[in-house]
């Protein structure tokens, strides 16, 4: 029973001590937010075409935004496998989509004893929770103490429009078969799986825990189909929509393997979108999906701020790769160019500076060691990425920073400040000088003045190129060709005009 004295003391100190009770544990919590296919158009980074994402900007004000972060693979499965194992795709052989439960197996020497990121925290006594798309599907069985799983596919889907759900299922609809579609659907946010994931997270942020927690939240949007309720489209009037830069004969200086990677038969081409007058509609839908995710992120931040965990929780928010909305002839991820590899990475919480942007090229592979260092855990000697903690407070640590992205076996790109170099499995190359050519339109690999820079970057590429993991079960091209033949998929199911 509260005595008069303790009541008096609490009155006296109410103005000087934090109003929120601190957890009894010493280590910070981790709130790990993965967003699918989110590119750098959000407002704290480029704000392209008047993107409306105030909650990303709010998170940016709370911490550090990396404006030149790159995935290690421009495809959901291998990108996430890299973040969660702390290893490069070239080390693990995980280049394609691998079942979450087959990432760590006795027959893969690189991953057979690997400790997944959430598991490392679990081993330190953290209470682990996860919902949504964190690994390729959700997470390996038994990884989280509490799991909210994931809704299969990327629905809900309107009955009258067939959208390939990523699993080769469904029936022919009036508009053909595809995985890329766009439009106002469903009627309310509460029908979106991401909304229900956030409900699950909000409920748990308001609980008390005896130990620190690691909570993973994986959003399905802005992955296609680009469906969100009408109100998110209304924020982006079609007259205000800009389209990103695209050069009609841009691909003429790309080596054959680069063209092959770029040309997935299931994705809409920019030429098609222009011909049918759909380009702005697709961009509008992508911006609408961003604003929806932004709103849901705001609900998470509100919940955290009003909880007892506000002052001792590290937030990390990242996307598994970029996304092209017409650049280099298509609407897709999978490529080794800037617009496909670059994605947001944001950090906030104890010991993270506020309202800071870091423009050095960095890797998503750094998430694992960075979280360990910020949480005061022992570094994991298997991590191939570097902790970003020194860079948070010391600008000199940005010097010489670079990021490597891999697509399939022995196709690599490296980004350093001002330049990008790509080398494909047959030795063909691309080189871009960003100071003169930010859109990567002119392949300068044969320009003599860049020879020393090209040699310098070539020497930094991985020397180990693990063979395709047996369960990394399809290469980029044959799989999609097979799906196209099997399902009759075509470019898009958007209404034909």
Chain contacts with Ca ion (rule: CB under 5 A): 36-37, 76, 250, 253, 320, 441
Q: Are 417 and 430 in contact (CB under 8 A)?
A: no
From 76, 223, 289, 321, active-site residue: 76
Q: How far is the CB of 353 from Ca ion (least distance, A)?
A: 29
d(CA 259, CA 264): 9
CA angle 181, 184, 190 (to 5 degrees): 115
- Positive or negative, the CA dihedral 240, 319, 350, 131 is positive
Q: How far is the CB of 320 from Ca ion (least distance, A)?
A: 4
Q: Name the token pair of 108.
A: 């893969």
Q: Name the token pair of 207.
A: 């609980």
Q: What is the dihedral of CA 68, 73, 77, 81, to 10 degrees?
A: -80
CA distances from 145 to 119, 140, 213, 231 (A): 10, 12, 10, 36
From 70, 71, 127, 136, active-site residue: 136
d(CA 158, CA 137): 22
Q: Which is nearer to Ca ion, 62 or 83 (CB)?
A: 83
d(CA 168, CA 237): 34
Q: Any catalytic annotation for residue 195?
A: no
* DSSP letter string, 26-88: SSPEEEEEEETT--TTSTTTT-GGG---HHHHHHHHHEEEEEEEE-SSSSHHHHHHHHHHT--
Instruction: Indicate left, alpha or beta for 213 from its phi (over 0: left) and psi (-120 to 50: alpha).
Output: beta
Instruction: Indicate left, alpha or beta for 403 from its phi (over 0: left) and psi (-120 to 50: alpha).
Output: beta
Residue 19, class by beta-carbon neighbours within 10 Å (0-12 exposed, 13-18 middle, 19+ buried)?
exposed
Residue 1, class by beta-carbon neighbours within 10 Å (0-12 exposed, 13-18 middle, 19+ buried)?
exposed
Q: Are 76 and 318 in contact (CB under 8 A)?
A: no
CA angle 240, 181, 269 (to 5 degrees): 80
Q: How far is the CB of 441 from Ca ion (least distance, A)?
A: 5
The enclosing H or E element of 201 equals helix 193-205
d(CA 290, CA 266): 23
Q: Any catalytic annotation for residue 76?
A: yes
* DSSP classification of residue 320: S
Report the catalytic residues.
76, 136
């Amino acid at each position: 029973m509260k005595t008069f004295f303790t009541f008096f003391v609490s009155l006296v100190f109410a103005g000087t001590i934090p109003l929120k009770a601190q957890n009894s544990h010493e280590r910070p919590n981790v709130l790990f937010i993965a967003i699918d296919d989110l590119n750098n158009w959000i407002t704290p980074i480029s704000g392209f075409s008047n993107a409306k994402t105030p909650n990303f900007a709010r998170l940016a004000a709370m911490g550090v935004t990396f404006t030149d972060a790159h995935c290690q693979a421009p495809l959901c499965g291998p990108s996430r496998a890299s973040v969660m194992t702390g290893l490069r795709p070239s080390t693990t052989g995980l280049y394609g989509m691998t079942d979450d439960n087959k990432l760590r197996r006795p027959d893969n020497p690189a991953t057979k004893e690997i400790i997944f990121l959430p598991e490392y925290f679990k081993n330190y006594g953290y209470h682990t929770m996860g919902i949504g798309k964190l690994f390729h599907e959700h997470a390996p069985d038994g990884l989280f103490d509490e799991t909210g799983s994931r809704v299969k596919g990327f629905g809900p889907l309107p009955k009258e429009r067939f959208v390939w759900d990523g699993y080769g299922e469904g029936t022919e609809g009036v508009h053909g078969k595809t995985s890329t579609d766009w439009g106002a659907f469903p009627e309310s946010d509460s029908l979106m799986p991401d909304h229900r994931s956030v409900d699950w997270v909000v409920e748990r942020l308001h609980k008390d825990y005896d130990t620190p927690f690691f909570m993973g939240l994986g959003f399905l949007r802005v992955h296609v189909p680009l469906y969100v309720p009408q109100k998110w489209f209304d924020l982006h009037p079609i007259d205000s929509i800009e389209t990103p830069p695209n050069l009609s004969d841009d691909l003429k200086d790309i080596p054959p393997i680069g063209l092959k990677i770029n040309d997935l038969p299931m994705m809409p081409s920019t030429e098609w979108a222009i011909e049918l007058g759909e380009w702005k509609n697709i961009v509008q839908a992508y911006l609408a999906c961003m604003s929806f995710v932004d709103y849901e992120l705001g609900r998470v931040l509100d919940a955290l701020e009003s909880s007892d965990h506000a002052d001792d929780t590290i937030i990390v928010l990242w996307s598994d790769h970029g996304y092209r909305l017409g650049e280099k002839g298509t609407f897709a991820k999978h490529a080794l160019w800037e617009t496909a590899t670059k994605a947001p990475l944001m950090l906030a919480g104890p010991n993270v500076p506020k309202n800071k942007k870091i423009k050095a090229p960095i890797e998503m592979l750094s998430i694992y060691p960075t979280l360990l260092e910020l949480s005061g855990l022992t570094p994991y000697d298997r991590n191939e990425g570097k902790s970003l903690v020194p860079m948070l407070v010391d600008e000199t640590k940005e010097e010489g920073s670079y990021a490597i992205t891999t697509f399939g076996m022995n196709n690599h790109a490296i980004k350093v400040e001002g330049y990008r170099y790509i080398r494909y499995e047959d030795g063909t190359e691309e080189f871009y000088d960003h100071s003169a050519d930010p859109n990567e339109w002119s392949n300068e690999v044969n320009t003599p003045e860049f020879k020393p820079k090209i040699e310098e970057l070539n020497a930094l590429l991985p020397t180990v190129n693990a063979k395709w993991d047996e369960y990394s079960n399809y290469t980029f091209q044959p799989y999609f060709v097979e799906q196209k033949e099997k399902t009759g998929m075509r470019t898009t199911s958007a209404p034909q005009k």
